[in-house]
């Protein structure tokens, strides 16, 4: 499994850098101790956040890329806020298919849900692929227009909840962004995109597709088994993805997972809502 990816890094240590951390698919419930397929999602998130703090003394940006809640409840979002408080200079929330964007806005405010941001000369775009009442992803014309209008001329990362290309897990690949080619068509003429980064699939992956580097990130709770035709869980522990973004365009990324902690999970489950 790829845990670290280095791009044009020969002189990376000689230039200033920003630390960005991505967590995803927390699936918090309305009350503490809520579980997903037997795993206490508060406990797993707390362990991941503790690891993040140990590994990264200063974080410039924390991106939470969808499925923050497992039940779309205001209580879940309100409980998440203090867990993240003080972890990073800037925190960004993206909606996933288990989220309710309007409730997220009410609980967190506009400041936590921007469409774009900057870290030095790095540009960050945040796309909403969630569709109400639908598990799979879709990019509305407004999301595509954002990418079309943005120059993406240098040092750009794009974050979106759903994945954009098949991973080889048949049941999951039915849920990818159904108009991903429309985004790739736009990005064909924008050479500055370093990577498109997703959650949703509860596993780490790295691909090249139509000249774009595609990354996915482990969930802070249960993990899906790669390459499975039907729903299946993996034995790997929860984790997160980090990025080191240098001002000269070099960057590194890697995945870290909680170790030394045993999590309960129902491996016999054949799915969840």
Residue range 137-177, pLDDT digits in tens = 999 999 999 999 999 877 999 999 999 999 999 999 999 99
User: Residue 262 has which token pair?
Assistant: 């045993």
CA distance 174 to 35: 25
- For the segment 125-134, the average pLDDT, to the nearest whole number, is 97
Question: Using an 8 Å Cβ cutoff, are 72 and 105 in contact?
Answer: no
- pLDDT band at residue 9 under the 50/70/90 scheme: very low
pLDDT of res. 271: 87
pLDDT of amino acid 153: 79
Structure tokens at 167: 């991973």
Q: Contact at 8 Å (CB) between 253 and 209?
A: no
User: Could you say which DSSP state residue 178 is in?
Assistant: T
Sequence-ordered list of residues with C-beta below 8 angstroms from that of 28, at least 6 positions apart, any chain: 34, 41, 42, 45, 68, 69, 70, 76, 79, 80
**How many angstroms separate the Cα of 217 from the Cα of each of 94, 161, 253?**
14, 10, 11
Taking the whole predicted model, whether its pTM rises above 0.85 is answered as: yes
Q: Under CATH, domain 17-247 is a member of which superfamily?
A: Metallo-dependent phosphatases (3.60.21.10)
Give burial (CB, 10 Å; 0-12/13-18/19+) of 262.
exposed
CA distance 137 to 216: 15
- pLDDT score recorded for residue 2: 36
> 19 falls in which pLDDT band (50, 70, 90)?
very high
Ordered by start, the domain boundaries in the chain are: 17-247
pLDDT in tens, 61-113: 999 999 999 999 999 999 999 999 999 999 999 999 999 999 999 999 989 99
- Supply angle C-alpha 257, 196, 57, rounded to 5: 40
Tell me what pLDDT residue 154 has. Answer: 78
**What is the rounded average pLDDT for all residues in the chain?**
93
Q: Is the sign of the CA dihedral 165, 171, 175, 181 positive or negative?
A: positive
Place of tokens 């993406």: 152
At 15, the pLDDT band (50, 70, 90 cuts) reads: low
pLDDT at 16: 82
Using CB atoms within 10 A of its CB, is residue 14 exposed (0-12), middle (13-18) or buried (19+)? exposed
**pLDDT value at residue 14:** 52
pLDDT at site 226: 96
What integer is the mean pLDDT of 210-229?
Answer: 97
Three-state SS sequence of 210-244: CCEEEEECCCCCCCECCCCCCCCECCCCCEEEEEE
């Amino acid at each position: 499994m790829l845990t670290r990816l280095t791009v044009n890094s020969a002189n990376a240590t000689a230039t200033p850098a920003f630390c960005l951390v991505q967590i995803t698919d927390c699936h918090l419930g309305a009350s503490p101790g809520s579980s997903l397929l037997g795993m206490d999602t508060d406990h797993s998130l707390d362990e991941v956040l503790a690891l993040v703090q140990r590994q990264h003394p200063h974080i410039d940006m924390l991106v939470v890329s969808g499925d923050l809640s497992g039940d779309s409840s205001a209580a879940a979002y309100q409980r998440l806020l203090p867990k993240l408080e003080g972890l990073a200079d800037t925190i960004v929330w993206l909606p996933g298919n288990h989220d309710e964007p309007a409730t997220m806005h009410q609980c967190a405010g506009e400041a936590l849900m921007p469409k774009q941001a900057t870290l030095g000369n790095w540009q960050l775009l945040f796309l909403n692929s969630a569709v109400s009442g639908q598990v799979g992803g879709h990019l509305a014309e407004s999301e595509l227009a954002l990418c079309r209008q943005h120059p993406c001329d240098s040092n750009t990362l794009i974050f979106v909840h759903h994945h954009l290309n098949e991973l080889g897990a048949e049941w999951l690949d039915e849920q990818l962004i159904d108009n991903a080619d429309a985004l790739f068509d736009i990005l064909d003429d924008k050479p500055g995109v370093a990577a498109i980064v997703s959650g949703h699939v509860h596993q780490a992956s790295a691909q090249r597709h139509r000249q774009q580097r595609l990354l996915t990130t482990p969930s802070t709770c249960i993990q899906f088994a790669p390459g499975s035709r039907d729903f299946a869980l993996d034995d790997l522990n929860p984790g997160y993805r980090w990025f080191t973004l240098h001002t000269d365009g070099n960057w590194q990324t890697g995945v870290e997972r909680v170790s030394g902690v045993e999590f309960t999970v129902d491996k016999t489950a054949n799915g969840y809502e």
